[in-house]
A and B are shown apart, each in its own frame.
Chain A
Amino acid sequence: MSGIAQKLASNQKQVAISEFFEKNKHFLGFDSPVRSLITAVKEAVDNSLDACEEARILPSIKVKVSKIDTKKDIIELVVEDNGPGIPQKSIEKVFGQLLFGSRFHAIRQSRGQQGIGITGVVMYSQLTTGKPTHVKSKIATESTAAVVDIGLDTRKNKATKSNSGREIWLLDDGEMKKHGLEVTTRMKAKYQKGRQSVWQYLRMTSIVNPHAEITFTDPDGETHHWPRVTERLPGKVESIKPHPHGIELGQLQRMLTESTDSRLSVFLRTNFSGVSTRAAKELCSAAELDVKVKPKQMNPDQIRALLESFQGERMFNGKPVKLLNPPTNCLSPIEEMLIKKGLSKTIDSRYAITMTRAPNVSQGNPYQVEVGLIFGGNMAADKPVEVLRFANRVPLMYQQGGCLLTKAIESVDWRQYGLDQAGGKGVPKGPAAILVHLASTNVQFTSEAKEALADNAEVMEEVRKAMLEMGRGLRKHLEKKKKMAKTKEKFELINDILPAIAAKSAQILEKPIPNLAGSITKIMSAVICESTTEWNKETKSVDVAIKIYNYTARSRAYTILATWPEKSGGLMTNNEHGGRKEATGVWAWKLETLQPGENITISYSLQGLEKGDWTETDVFFRGSQEIIGAMKMDEKYLEEIRNQEKIMNELNSSNDIGDEKINDEENVDQTVEAMPESIPEPAIKPPSGQSTLFGGEQ
């Protein structure tokens, strides 16, 4: 697809906006009164989050929906943020012009837009109520806020502005607002509760934006508040150039047409990622093109040949041209700990596991999968689990069944991990919610509605792997819970019941109370582990104690292993038993032999964490005799951790290679054409179609 914006632009001359809008409302997100409201909220909130992120401001966003005319379904929406605001002269552009916005021109992970962005909201409001959208904007350097009404002249197909002026923006507490934006608009829309609602959209947004504070006032006047759970802003994403594996014919044509390069080889090297000087030459050779061809003058056959060499259909020396992977530092995952916090603040649960996989590349597009699973608490045990899907931090609320992310969840046999699932197929049932987030520079959707991700075997496998790993985590948790209950019972038995039996029987028989040691060993006949992980308010650290009791008649020797949040910046201190690192996030202690009746306690503190960051320590053992309360070390689990470590390391080093300096003869051309390498943006701006979430079929 070439992007709705372009479609709109090309159609603009012949078709009135209203007609265009009517024709395309299904993929613009305005096909029903319910969805229109969600779309409007989405556009406004996404803009706020993006603006705050760019300006490195922790977002506080207020959304208010009120019913103005119930009979005619007229609703007023107010979205206010604390973002940088928009300079007065740019307001009209942002709200009234269709192709505005830097995100159209760079390849990077971005929230992207539904339909045509906030302009669509302005249009929809104008068309359904005839009313313009009121915008109030304050930037930090000005003392007053700019206000303006933005509407659309449907005959001239042009934005209009009216009532523009300046006013003082006071907050509820009488203070002046420092900076921010407020959008007020009236539209034909319906407010509804449930799985597909403004509430759900904001709730989901809050989960994947733990750095944001979101307040929502619904039409009943009820206020929903999702607090900020971290002060850390998402990492700044870098723009990257397109990769030959991810480019399509139309885009390539446009890039070539707009190119000012004099040689094809230079064009290739400077406008694509992963193309070295060597690769540029090889690509030309494979396409049977001269390196000196002027890009602008290439004919359709030549362009097609070039594309075929991109895709490896035309070979160089009998092999597809080898290209470097694009760098993956353009991705900004939410990260395990923050997903956990986001989930935990939103949904009450007993257990949460989250996972950020190493970034990967599919068809020239970097992508990264993150997953989370929460279990227990108040969630319904007999209903399908809640599936929370996200693409580049944007909630996907419709078309769940047709989405790649859902299919990956369904491909797992969850029964072995402790959830119900009829026939081992479909979305599992149980008191759980599963989150999947795909971060990518080019998210492929099944349709322009952009609600379901298109099939992609590599991404599918990556999500599936993450699901399996989480499933194993859930199973371990459930087994541990069961074992802990069993251990607790055993302790109650030997500490309370057995002494009572001894005392009562001695009393009835009028005999002395017998010694219990022998009976205790026989009853327990096991090695038992009790572990606690507790937040210490005074030292602001997490204290962990692992106690091993040998209640058997023989001496026992073990290596004890425990998980700890190494990746999330935890620091292990006061670890008197020493030990060594086994793998990332797994520490090991080789214990001295425990004699019958003996016990030993391993204790340490974890610093650099916040309360709630680390609440459960998994304890494993290596040794022949089972330990109740600990799990036998699954060497596969260690292997998986090490694999991920390896991939991370490799990716980091390959990203370095991607930045290699070009230092051969072609540099001459470079200077001639005055193409400084330091410019991060490609010289030729790829059209909007392939740059962002707009990806997908052309």
Chain B
Amino acid sequence: MAVRMSAEETKSAMQTVVSEMYDKIVKGEPPTMTLPVRTKNNIGFDRKLGVYKYGKKKSIRDATSLGSAKQLLRALHVIEFIEDMIDSGKSSTLREMYYISESWGLGKFGSQNESNNLAEDLEIVTKCLREDFKLRPEEDGARIIGNLTLQERNRRGEWMRINARDDVGDSGYGVPYNVELEKIEFLEHDINFLMAIETGGMFDRLVENGFDEDYKCGLLHLKGQPARSTRRIIKRMSEEWDLPVVVFLDGDPWSFRIFASIAYGAIKTAHISEYLATPSATYLGITSDDIVAYDLPSDDLSKKDIEALNAELSDPRFADSWWQDQINMMLELNKKAEQQSLAKYGLDFVTDTYLPEKLAELGLA
């Protein structure tokens, strides 16, 4: 697990980035910033950590083009801004930083996307977490329902004990953006496994049918592509409570990617995969087999779907034979199906038949 950095360590890591630029100018060279290549061609399996990490390929961003030079200047402004926040004990959202950059003159961001990417770049180069940088994401965290108890430090600095079955409404416990030890502690639970669910509709169906109580499990709504804090809390529960994690998604190429980001690490955040990924997570469904086996209502693959599947075939995270079979099968079927297509057989089919059958295969039901 990644080691969190102190304020001084964070500042010193950033100074190294600044020094690289400064020293290059002194030497009469264009200033540079060295980054790992952030594509699927530069991620590899780390045996020790059990997740996918960036490889050794580096790209040097140097100030020989206007775009790159502006990126370097922005990085300097961001570093200065972070140092100020560390010193004054404040934090800001990425979006706030984007607006603050309005006053950075030539170093201002062109779009919110640019500021997000730069924050990630700095994480990668300094090996710090953006939590160390005092930068918060906008992204929406997950919600959880189930018989598990944790305590969260509220705005007044007091610890609040919350049971995610008894102390919450139908929408469940909302996962905050920071799920680190200083914010959340896990207390106790009476569940056998954690189930992560892609869509709100399916999450609500399982809640309404009382699936969490019947099968003694925690239900977690991913809200599409899961936020960092969502992946992090899954990781912590899996490790600290030693819980099996099953992932229940739509049956399409994009769900495969969501699963990979949960289990193996996302390409964009491969620098902190060991911190976010849960290698023991299992893909429950919808599989390509399910589409045929349950004769699910399905849609034809779009051009983009097919491109995505083909890209996955050469993605090292999907290199094992089970995934290759699933992807190839989907391409052959030329079909994809949603979780909620199970409703073809009635509202209770998913909780009475489909999930029990799938869980039984895993020895969880």
Contacts and interface: CB of A to CB of B under 8 A. Distances in A.
A505 B76 contact: yes
Interface stretch (A5-13, A518-526, A562-570, A682-690): A518-526
A522 B63 CA distance: 10
Interface string A496-519: 111011101111110100101111
A605 to B, nearest CB: 34
A582 interface: no
Nearest to B21: A505
Given A497-B106, A509-B15, A492 B31 contact: no
Contacts of A521: 28
Contact of B29 (A489, A511, A519): A519
Interface in A333-353: none
B28 A517 contact: yes
A493 B66 contact: yes
A398 B62 CA distance: 58
A498 B24 CA distance: 12
Contact of B25 (A490, A492, A508, A516): A516
A508 B76 contact: yes
B22 interface: yes
A497 B64 contact: no
Given A508-B79, A519-B30, A501 B72 contact: yes
Nearest to A489: B66
Contacts of A492: 66
Contact of A500 (B26, B30, B73, B83): B73
A522 B24 CA distance: 11
Nearest to A508: B18
Interface residues of A, number: 26
B125 interface: no
A232 to B, nearest CB: 46
B107 interface: yes
Indicate the member of A490, A508, A511, A516 with the most B CB atoms within 10 Å.
A508
Interface string B60-93: 0001111001101100110110010000000000
B19 A519 contact: no
Name A's interface SS.
helix
A504 B64 contact: no
Contacts of B77: 504
A504 B76 contact: yes
Contacts of B21: 501, 505
Nearest to A497: B69
Interface in B96-112: 105-107
Interface string A520-551: 01110100000000000000000000000000
A252 to B, nearest CB: 70
Nearest to B69: A497
Contacts of A516: 25
Interface string B329-360: 00000000000000000000000000000000
B28 A522 contact: yes
Contacts of B31: 498, 501-502, 505, 519
Given A501-B72, A509-B18, A519 B106 contact: no
B155 interface: no
Contacts of A504: 73, 76-77, 80, 107
A92 B177 CA distance: 95
B69 A501 contact: yes
A501 B76 contact: yes
Contacts of B304: none
Contact of B80 (A489, A498, A508): A508
Nearest to A524: B64
Contacts of B26: 514
A489 B67 CA distance: 9
A501 B65 contact: no
B22 A506 contact: yes
A519 B69 contact: no
A500 B22 contact: no
Contacts of A501: 21, 25, 31, 63, 69, 72-73, 76
B25 A509 contact: no
Nearest to B28: A518
- B18, B64, B69, B83 pick with most chain A CB within 10 angstroms: B69
Interface in B106-125: 106-107
A611 B16 CA distance: 57
B27 interface: yes
Contacts of B18: 505, 508-509
Contacts of A505: 18-19, 21-22, 25, 31, 76
Contact of B22 (A489, A514, A518): A514
Interface string A255-291: 0000000000000000000000000000000000000
A517 B29 CA distance: 9
A522 B30 contact: yes
Interface in B7-52: 15, 18-19, 21-22, 24-31
Which of A492, A501, A509, A511 has the most chain B CB atoms inside 10 A of its CB? A501
A502 B25 contact: yes
A497 B30 contact: no
Interface centre among A496, A516, A521 (most CB of B within 10 A): A496
A148 B18 CA distance: 92
B66 A511 contact: no
A350 B83 CA distance: 49
Contacts of B105: 500
B326 to A, nearest CB: 42
Contacts of A519: 24-25, 28-31, 63
Interface of B: 15, 18-19, 21-22, 24-31, 63-66, 69-70, 72-73, 76-77, 79-80, 83, 105-107
**Shortest Cβ-Cβ A-B pairs, 9 listed:** A518-B28, A489-B66, A504-B76, A505-B22, A497-B69, A514-B25, A514-B26, A508-B18, A523-B30
28 contacts: A490-B66, A492-B66, A493-B66, A496-B106, A498-B63, A500-B73, A500-B106, A501-B21, A501-B69, A502-B25, A502-B31, A504-B77, A505-B22, A505-B25, A505-B76, A506-B22, A508-B15, A509-B19, A509-B22, A514-B26, A518-B27, A518-B28, A518-B29, A519-B25, A519-B29, A519-B31, A522-B28, A523-B64
Given A492-B66, A500-B107, A523-B63, 18 more contacts: A490-B66, A493-B63, A497-B106, A498-B25, A498-B31, A501-B63, A501-B72, A502-B31, A504-B73, A505-B18, A505-B19, A506-B22, A508-B80, A509-B22, A518-B29, A519-B30, A519-B63, A523-B64
